[in-house]
Amino acid sequence: MSSFVPRLVSRKQILLLMCLFGLSCGLSLTGCSQFVVINYLLHGPPTVEPDFDSETGLSMSNPGVTVAVVCFAPKELQWESPDIDEQISGMVARQMGQNHIKVIEPEFIRAWVDENPDWEKAEEIGKRFQTNYVVEIELAEYSLYEPNSTTLFRGRTEAYVHVVEMDESFEFGERIFTKEINFEFPTRVPRSSYDTSHTQFKKEYLSRLAERIGYLFYERFNGDMIGWAT
């Protein structure tokens, strides 16, 4: 599965850039400064290189590369949040697919995991689906509520994201990347349960979490997480 949707500059970013351009003209900035502003208008704001690319020198966006995404949740988390592993892996896979990474359909991975409940190593999935990389998300903690509250939403997740690279024969894999994720949303203040339902907040939180994990593997704009404060 891969949906190549180009990343667009938001309306707010466009307005900001237009203001900057107008300000540069009004203040008669130097030619160098005007060039910087024009470059913003033409090419958009600066992007942040994915951690995976910068730390390994590799890229999941390269042509011909395929990726499988799987998530593991301990039993105590599954009791409290059934199917949370499938929801997270599916949403992360879709985020990556929308950002120029060719991923295996989450439904195919889910069916294989259901048929092989005793799987232990991510490379087993890489071998089955003949993928270059397997992204394994290992959940440690997950909650949608502010600590000691049942009326304030603030999602928290502690997880470890590993990447296993398969060899050319797709028989053996090696872990080449690990990143600890401690994610909290909203980042500044919790949200009242009187303003949003549990279902609505969970959907939004998992979407943001999937983006945060996806940013490890594809470029983002500098200001992409500004709106996550509230």
The upper half-sphere exposure of residue 56, i.e. CA atoms within 13 Å in the direction of its Cβ, equals 20
Three-state SS annotation for the chain = CCCCCCCCCCHHHHHHHHHHHHHHHHCCCCHHHHHHHHHHHHHCCCEECCHHHHHHCCCCCCCCCEEEEEEECCHHHHHHCCCHHHHHHHHHHHHHHCCCCEECCHHHHHHHHHHCCCCCCHHHHHHHHCCCEEEEEEEEEEEEECCCCCCEEEEEEEEEEEEEEECCCCCCEEEEEEEEEEEEECCCCCEECCCCCHHHHHHHHHHHHHHHHHCCCCCEECCCCHHHCC
Cα(214)–Cα(69) distance, rounded to whole angstroms? 11
Can you give the pLDDT at residue 46? 86
Q: Per the structure block, which two tokens stand in for 32?
A: 């160098």
What is d(CA 150, CA 61) in angstroms, rounded to the nearest whole number? 41
Q: How far apart (Å, rounded) are the C-alpha atoms in residues 142 and 205?
A: 11
pLDDT along the chain (230 residues), means of 10: 45 52 51 54 76 98 97 93 96 97 97 93 97 98 95 97 97 98 97 96 98 97 92
Fold of 46-228: Rossmann fold (3.40.50)
Q: Where are the domains of the chain?
A: 8-45, 46-228
pTM of the complete model:
0.82
Bond into 6 cis (ω within 30): no
Quote the pLDDT of residue 65: 98
Q: How many CB atoms lie within 10 A of CB 190?
A: 18
Cα separation of 88 and 92, whole Å? Answer: 6
Distances (CA, A) of 3 to 94, 212, 219: 8, 19, 16
Q: Quick one: pLDDT at residue 177?
A: 98
What confidence score (pLDDT) does residue 24 get?
Answer: 52
Q: What is the pLDDT of residue 41?
A: 56
